[in-house]
Amino acid sequence: MSATSAHSTTSIADPTSYPEEDLRFDKKGRASYYPAWLGQHIQDGKYIIVRKLGWGQYSSVWLAKDREFDRFVSLKILTCEATTALKSKRSDEIELLRKLAATDRSHPGSRHAIEFYDTFEFDGLEGQHCCIVTEVLGRSVDTLRKESADSDLRLSLPLVKTIIKQVLLGLDYLHGPCGIVHAGM
């Protein structure tokens, strides 16, 4: 990756312009994010990190190769704080993913609900990190909009209809067979 961009007039990049999580210590002197790197072997070499997919307030997400099953997976590595919240039952993410994995997948909406593979914890520099292993998801609607041929970022009507149908099928699967209500829509 180049340190310059089309809009830059200097060859030295501004480090604050990169949309990356801050790996420095937080206000309480704790490191939050796990500083993973490309090519890193995780879980006794079962997973090899291939590239970063993104990050959020409580985790970073990585594309990895699952050597045992010869497939690509998503590794969501929680911050130390999020791992603590998970252990203290302030978060039920893994419980919900396990419920999804244990529910009959013959419902047509199950194809539109994430597939959960595994979870494990490992030690980082400043504490424990929980890692959630799932299937790799597709592109976001925002990404699709940005890739759209229309200059006004609108998606085509057939694509919008397909997305809405898939979301509704997925929600029907969650609400029906799984008994899960998705309240964050």
Q: Which residues, other chains included, contact 146 with Cβ-Cβ below 8 Å and sequence gap of 6+?
A: 153
pLDDT digits (tens, 9 = 90+) for 161-183: 999 999 999 999 999 999 998 87
- Fold of the 31-175 domain: Phosphorylase Kinase; domain 1 (3.30.200)
pLDDT digits (tens, 9 = 90+) for 107-130: 999 999 999 999 999 998 888 999
- The whole-model pTM stands at 0.80
pLDDT digits (tens, 9 = 90+) for 15-55: 444 456 666 555 565 548 999 999 999 999 999 999 999 88
Choose among 47, 29, 30: nearest CA to 38. 47
Instruction: Please give the C-alpha separations between residue 78 and each of 27, 59, 122, 149, in angstroms, as whole numbers.
Output: 18, 4, 11, 36
Euclidean distance between CA atoms 34 and 37, whole angstroms? 9
